[in-house]
Chains A and B, each alone.
Chain A
Amino acid sequence: MAVEVVKAEHLNKTFTIRKQKSLKDRFVSAKGGRLHDESFTALNDIDLTINVGESVGLVGPNGSGKSTLLKVIGGILAPDSGRVMTRGRIAALLELGAGFHPDLTGRENIFLNASVLGLTRLEAEGYFDQIVEFSGIRDFIDTQVKFYSSGMYVRLAFAVAVHVDPDVLLVDEVLAVGDEPFQAKCIDKIRQFQAEGRTIIFVSHSAGQVADICDRAVVLEHGKIVEDSTPIVALGRLRRDYQQSIDASKATDTTTVSPWEARIERIYLSSPTSYHHSDFQVVMTPGSDLCFHLEVSFTEKVPDWALKVSVENFLGTTFVEADTRETLGWTMPATEGLVKFVITLPKLMLGEGDYSIRLTVRDDQDRVLDQMNHAGTFAVRGPQHVLGPVYTEPEISFQDPA
């Protein structure tokens, strides 16, 4: 049976954003003061259970409540109602170098920061050499940290943080600091934590990082959990929601409006190997052809228009991108009314996975006439002879002994 380490029930948290902070301000607007207060729901009836050894990513747009949730679990911020229960030792790693004092040396700050994070003096002494080793700044350990470069500062802080010995680690956007070798070291450390059965709860805006590290992702929007699933599914949901808000803001942007009008009326996908599936328009095997059946309507003749087709995964990574003008050098015929055509991507050797199509129609000045993100979805399912984003069928041949 799975052992729960974090159990949150019916958490609610509303912030009141006050505009005045000083006595004078409050006095002056004593009567009207309330009018200036705005309330903001950060957590709206959140229920969440996390078990031993899970690595959970909390994702969502800014202001969705993910950091608030992390702080409530960490005991830093009290909820308005609801309860949180935890088991074992919890370490909140929300800020690198909490308690660091610029005038103290690296050595002194290690002990101070370790103590703030909950290590005893004895434990800190035991880890001291490992911490210094991990940070890689042994030569500067007796220098005041105000003389450190920002990279050194962060490395030292991170080194202390990863040596705290928690059962549950709460991390807020502090991973991936320092240069590349140091980052690799950090990721190794996280993997080691996972192997040791530590639970990691992780707030990040980096979809890649969440997909890489976590085995579960929780999407928050406006203080509610809207998806709680595997990272691929959850991040796909998040990306669709992001795209909607990006589209919405683009729609109001009038600086790049084209004098022409065009609309993608219809698109559907097909593949010779496809079979019917409820979640995807097309499920194909690696190496088969993928066809886009398109209908675009023009109110008048648009000279030298262009179409771009992209194949992406749900993290937004582009695998194939074809542009009729930029990459293919085709000239699209200027026509009025409805244009029907088929674009085929032959022998598409994509690896197993779920993909999404993005379409853009532009005029000769590269102004967007119409755009469809998630114009269609398809999945690639195959015999899994290889793994990775590109598919191939390996062959083997032994050379005859001479």
Chain B
Amino acid sequence: MNTSEREQALEKLPLTDVFVHEGLVRGTLGTLKDIWARRELLDLLIRREIKAKYKDSVLGLVWSLVRPIVMLVIYYMVMGRVLGADRGIDHFAVYIYCGLAVWSLFQESVAGGTASIVANSGIIKKTRLPREILPLTSIGVALFNFFIQLVILVVFVLATSGINTSVNFLHFPLAIAIVLVWGTAFALLLSAANVYLRDVQYLTEVALMIGFYASPIIYPWSLAAGHMNAIVQDIYLANPITLAIMGTQFVWWKTEKVDYPWPEHLDHRMLIALAVGFVVLFIASRVFARLQRDFAQEI
């Protein structure tokens, strides 16, 4: 192609604005379109994170199995057997593992996402791409790790208690959807805030630590419910991650006790959590879109 050919080709294209100030709906559609257009990059960045993490280790990906398994054993032994949290709970290992897997999906999404923009300052400062891709990369990596843990869970369940056929399996995908929607919302919001205030990263770590114990992961809900009146129970159950964990336990953990106190209307509560999650995600993505305009100078 020479100059005049390129001139002719470019003449047909319109001059387009580099920075578009769109309304909420059109802006959101624009963002989604941009991300979709760069999905290959998202895929490559997720692979980069996963590959780079275990690049020089002999066991490689096996390490991402070791951590959850060790945690499982520790919690099972210490909390269950030594401290006696498993009183009256059969298959306590499955119970704990369900909670741990779902929690770590959320925790990795949020913690990784929060740090993602600052950690990739080179890309932010020097290239043009939809910046949402970076927090989304953290979600992708967390999801990958979650699938590995899920494989362990399924194998373990099949080997011990067997699949519970009497429950509605849809609780599980619903639970994962809740975690992803809320995790993405937090990741977007906190990663943008972290550019302006680095303390956000550390605050997030602390908040996540509290969140871990505020969810029925290493203790049974039946035990916690006994200490709460109706209002506190409702507050406890308003936590979308708690609902997602319960939904997962509901599907995979086959308890022999018929009277385990599953919260009333678990499915409805989960659907509401998902719906609210989408609203929060929408707000978070708009806040991100606004804050990201100055990333290149603030980072």
| Residues in A lying within 8 Å of B, measured CB to CB | 3-5, 7, 15, 21-24, 26, 52-53, 71-79, 83-88, 90, 92, 94-95, 98-99, 101, 103-104, 108, 111-112, 115-118, 120-121, 144, 167, 195-198
Contacts and interface: CB of A to CB of B under 8 A. Distances in A.
Interface residues of B, number: 41
B48 A21 contact: no
A36 to B, nearest CB: 16
Contact of B56 (A15, A53, A103): A103
Contacts of A4: 15
B7 to A, nearest CB: 5
A116 B123 CA distance: 8
Given A87-B13, A95-B127, A112-B44, 6 more contacts: A75-B19, A84-B18, A92-B127, A94-B126, A112-B48, A196-B2
A196 B6 contact: yes
B123 A7 contact: no
A52 B1 CA distance: 13
A5 B7 CA distance: 9
Contact of B41 (A21, A75, A116): A116
Nearest to B54: A103
Given A15-B297, A52-B3, A87 B123 contact: no
B88 interface: no
Nearest to B203: A23
Given A92-B128, A116-B41, A104 B16 contact: no
A111 to B, nearest CB: 6
Contacts of A103: 51-52, 55-56
Nearest to A78: B293
A92 B125 CA distance: 11
B6 A198 contact: yes
Given A23-B199, A84-B19, A92-B127, A115 B2 contact: no
A197 B4 contact: yes
Interface string B239-282: 00000000000000000000000000000000000000000000
Contacts of A111: 44
Nearest to A74: B128
Contact of B128 (A76, A79, A115, A195): A76
Contacts of A167: 6, 10
Contacts of B16: 85-87
B120 to A, nearest CB: 8
A120 B40 contact: yes
A108 B51 contact: yes
Given A22-B197, A115-B40, A76 B15 contact: no
A98 B123 contact: yes
28 contacts: A5-B10, A23-B197, A23-B199, A52-B10, A73-B18, A74-B18, A76-B125, A76-B126, A77-B294, A77-B297, A83-B17, A83-B18, A85-B18, A87-B13, A88-B10, A90-B128, A92-B128, A94-B126, A95-B122, A99-B123, A103-B56, A115-B44, A116-B41, A116-B123, A121-B40, A167-B6, A196-B3, A198-B6
A144 B55 CA distance: 10
B209 interface: no
B129 interface: yes
B7 A197 contact: yes
A86 B15 contact: yes
A77 B265 CA distance: 49
Contact of A52 (B6, B18, B52, B296): B6
Contacts of B38: 115
B52 A92 contact: no
B7 A101 contact: no
A10 to B, nearest CB: 13
B198 interface: yes
A121 B44 CA distance: 10
B23 interface: no
B18 A7 contact: no
A218 B272 CA distance: 58
A79 B4 CA distance: 32
Nearest to B124: A76
Given A98-B126, A111-B44, A197 B6 contact: yes
A160 B16 CA distance: 27
B45 interface: yes
B130 to A, nearest CB: 11
B22 interface: no
Nearest to A13: B297
Contact of B19 (A26, A79, A104, A116): A79
Nearest to B2: A197
A117 B127 CA distance: 7
Contacts of B51: 103-104, 108
A112 B14 CA distance: 30
Given A76-B125, A77-B297, A116-B129, A53 B7 contact: yes
A401 to B, nearest CB: 46
Given A76-B126, A78-B294, A197 B3 contact: yes
Contacts of B10: 3, 5, 52, 87-88, 167
Contacts of B13: 87-88
Given A23-B197, A85-B17, A99-B123, A104 B55 contact: yes
A109 to B, nearest CB: 9
Contact of A71 (B15, B55, B56, B296): B296
A259 B199 CA distance: 58
Interface in B116-155: 122-123, 125-129
A358 B1 CA distance: 46
Contacts of B126: 76, 92, 94-95, 98
